[in-house]
Structure 1
């Protein structure tokens, strides 16, 4: 009897202690990730002052009431946007993910909040290139709400990155039917692009711009993307118009500057290109600007500058990788195209291939690596997967032609190389240069024999 009483008393004590601890700590969360001060030109805009005030207001609310999950979600969304604007991905995406995970760990009864937090989590995972995880999270959000457009957006993106293109089209169509706006039209545009419909891609991206609000970062992004579509087809005049349009709305929009820098390179105005890329890199730490600078320095035989910028580029990407941002494909392309090291590139590319063997960009990278290693048969096996969507990417078409040419199918190989140069006559890569030389020799052989 005494023994039973002892156990009962102990159990009551444990329950009471648990209740007290729960009441004491139910509103205690991890420390709120602080807002970082912006640097350079983007730190002097009225948009930054408004953003800073809004974020500080949310942080104040959470200090006063740590259990305010709606404010926590708004802060996570604000940090996701800061990542886009500042390029500080290694800091803001993990910070946003921490906040979202705290919300979901609480298992709130508000299903709208749970849905929005789950979609936000999937979006962060996409930004970190954690595509399998994003697909799984997106499917979890779909179970909560199958009538929200946002969930179909993340499912579209995840399926695209994993190479599930038919499923991605279904998701994009569903999203556009629920909410025909900037986000849905831009996804339709990309799917048209990778399936070889460049006029359709341009049309859909223009619809995305028309659906946006001037001055917002998202509108500037799709405007620059439309410019890049024109650039890919060799229409430099319209490309320049779109980049300038984005800059007219946001004078420090780095990606628009990057577009103008690429156009300057195509026009062989290397001094202007260097100034523009340096300016863009000074606004946000975006690896593509450093990549363009390395390429530019190499073209001009500025070896010391190229080496120093390459080291900074790789250091930044490794920092991203350490923060959970998977950048193996980017590293593979950099080591191949800038480092001229196909063996090192292969290590990174195979890591990415194991994650998403059906993605056409991953397969293209592997095809180019094996081409540079002069293993044309292996390159052809990856090209079979890389070309299955009938993409009219000029670089991919050129690579396909070169591989066919070296495997003995010189007629089709020459035809594809010529097609590539017609698709985009302003290509200036190792592949395009080799392609031009092969075509020139083939024509000379026909004329003089």
Structure 2
């Protein structure tokens, strides 16, 4: 199984698509360079149960350990529960001890590294898989994700083309959708996601595609269309945390506040990565104590992840810029920029610099965040506020207006501040 990152707490959480790439099937274990089978209609939980039962009887079956690791990764992606990452690592490592050249486990380690935001390691594992088995197409998903997050968009597109040439499936179509969205081609992104949805082989994959369609609708300001897509995803997978959080966000934009709070509470119960979003809505509604509780959960969660070597400097930097210490945000995000020069990190670092009072330097990163041509309301808002701080009213108005035209509800507080700034510029004191 592989996984694309949100845009992702964001994806993530970034951000991000993927599919079951290696599935357990009793009597049908993978060998050599054979492509993995794709039995239809089963959820990751079923494969986990089957794999565990098989391994109780055959503990030295390296291929099934690898398949189990991929099932854990798929479960983590669908549920938002990163505890499955540790289980996936254990399964892949066991597989590699039993069969050091096992390509499915190598690909799995790359997908796991990407899921943990260690994209340099994901790239290394992907390259190792390519050297050993260049026609095992899922490895190009690992490479595409790693290159994309490292900011090497040319190599990401080349890897994706290779993946599409070899295996035009759900995993490749969802990656095409993300790439097209980054370039501002949302109609093409929607078409790719619809193709992926049509070939989804399980309720988990189907829900994932519909969630992505919801995210695409939301990013373009279509809150009602987003709710409809999230509703369909949750019909397929009622506990799908990303769709619960997405629907909460869209319901809040439509003024359905009680339902939004209900969905956020359900989402964070399954995936704490959404606590900052939840807190920001509570803060916007005047519940500062409730917001502080959610922010405290985020801080505790990140402390635990950092202690385990899985901290997320991008997520922490964004949080510190808006709700903590902007200088600490700059330090975190400079470190992240050294590791990966993606548009997401450029935007976050530019915003942190602005919040720390370093507006001229911030403007350069804000410009870099826009370089792929995609239409991102939050990026445009950040750029508008930076230009306003620099004393460039015309540029500020243009970017703030652009943010609201892309998505008038892009964030509870940000959209309100953008409107206030535009009103102030129209009627200066």
Q: TM-score, normalised by structure 2?
A: 0.84
Residues 378 and 431 of structure 1, relative CA distance in 2, 3 Å threshold: farther
Q: Which residue of 49, 53, 56 corresponds with 2:52?
A: 56
1:94 aligns with 2:78: no
2:213 to 194, 201, 226: 226
> 1:33-72, CA deviations, whole angstroms, 9 ceiling, x for partnerless residues?
xxxxxxxxxxxxx95874463143133124xxx4321222
- 1:171 Cα deviation after fit: 1.0
Q: Unaligned stretches of 5+ in structure 1?
A: 1-45
* Contact 1:370-1:376 at 8 Å conserved across structures: yes
| Within-5 A mapping of 1:158-173 | 158-173=146-161
- CA separation of 1:400 and 1:86: change in aligned 2, threshold 3 A: closer
Residues 256 and 229 (structure 1 numbering): CA distance in 2 closer, same or farther, change over 3 Å?
same
CA-based RMSD: 2.2
- Note the alpha carbon deviations across 1:396-415, whole angstroms, 9 max, x for none: 12222332343343223322
C-alpha distance 48-375 of structure 1, shift in aligned 2 (>3 A): closer
Deviation at 1:261, TM superposition (A): 0.7
TM-score (norm 1): 0.81
Q: Does 1:277 align with 2:261?
A: no
| Structure 1 CA distance for aligned equivalents of residues 200 and 290 of structure 2 | 40
Matches within 5 A, 1:21-420: 50-51=46-47, 53-62=49-58, 66-89=59-82, 91-108=83-100, 114-215=102-203, 217-282=204-269, 284-288=270-274, 290-337=275-322, 339-356=323-340, 358-420=341-403
- The 3 A distance-change label for structure 1 pair 86 and 440 is closer
Q: Distance in 1 between matches of 2:77 and 2:284?
A: 30
Which one has the bigger helix percentage? 1
Point out 4+ residue stretches in structure 1 off by more than 6 angstroms.
none
CA distance in 1, matches of 2:421, 2:287: 28
| C-alpha deviation, 1:436, in angstroms | 2.1
5+ residue gaps in structure 2?
1-41
Q: For 1:50 and 1:402, how far apart are their aligned partners in 2? A: 49
Q: Distance in 2 between matches of 1:150 and 1:164?
A: 19
For 1:103 and 1:279, how far apart are their aligned partners in 2? 35
- Do the aligned partners of residues 187 and 394 (structure 1) sit closer, same or farther apart at CA in structure 2, a change above 3 Å counting? same
Tell me the equivalent position of 1:43. none
Counterparts of 2:407 and 2:362, CA distance in 1: 23
- Indicate the larger mover: 425-434 or 156-165: 425-434
| Structure index of larger Rg | 1
Is this contact kept in 1: 2:111–2:122, CA < 8 A? Answer: yes
Aligned in 2, Cα 1:79/1:146: closer, same or farther, shift over 3 Å?
A: same
Name the SS for the 1:84 alignment partner.
helix
More RCO (CA 8 Å, sep 6+): 2
Q: How many residues in Structure 1 have an aligned counterpart in Structure 2? A: 388
Matched with 1:37 is none
